[in-house]
Amino acid sequence: MLDVFPNQLNARNVIQATLQNPEAMYVNQLAVDAVVKNESGEAVFEASQDMMQMAPNSQFDFPISLNGQPLEPGDYRLELTATAMGEEWKWDEAFSIEADEASALNESDVSIPPPDHTWTYISIGIAFITLSVVLFLIHRRKKKKVIPQTNSNPTASAS
């Protein structure tokens, strides 16, 4: 295993482990089992695949799907076991997901629904209507308190 990192595959978040076959021979019937664990050692994501093949002197990224879960920043461990042709290889690799990296990948993941702002818009609408009604009532009350002026010039009314 060369590397482990968060990435996207088909616009969906995954953890990818780069596996390499440095030998000049085919690796047949390759099976990979991977478990991603959080800081407390709890398994958060798992993936298994068997009956794969690797060409000589090649590498590929093995994806571990998040199944629609958003990436969370933090420290993780990948425990990966690969078996083929009677051989077994094990890796235990620590990796971190930074907050800005998780945020950027989560925003472009098509399986994570965007935040719902419906209640924000409803609250703003109710506040606007309430404010409009209060201002209207204040304006109407001020208009009623105005004392009508009478014409005190007697010559103006004589015709």
Pairing outcome for strands 12-21 and 43-54: unpaired
| Tens-place pLDDT, residues 87-120 | 999 999 999 999 999 999 999 999 888 778 889 9
Q: What is the pLDDT of residues 60-95, one digit of tens each?
A: 999 999 998 999 999 999 999 999 999 999 999 999
- Please give the CATH superfamily to which domain 3-108 belongs: Intracellular proteinase inhibitor BsuPI (2.60.40.2360)
pLDDT at 96: 96
Please tell me the predicted confidence (pLDDT) of residue 151: 61
Q: Could you state, in order of their start, the residue ranges of all structural domains in the chain?
A: 3-108, 119-145
Residue pLDDT, tens place only, 17-61? 999 999 999 999 999 999 999 999 999 999 999 999 999 999 999
Q: How far, in Å, CA of 1 to CA of 52, rounded? A: 16
Residue 158: CA atoms inside 13 Å, Cβ hemisphere, count? 3
Q: What's the CA gap between 157 and 159, in Å, rounded?
A: 6
**Tens digits of residue pLDDT in 124-159:** 999 999 999 999 988 888 877 765 666 655 565 555
- List CB contacts of 35: < 8 A, sequence separation 6 or more: 43, 45, 46, 78, 79, 80
Asked whether 49 and 110 are in contact (CB, 8 A), the reply is no
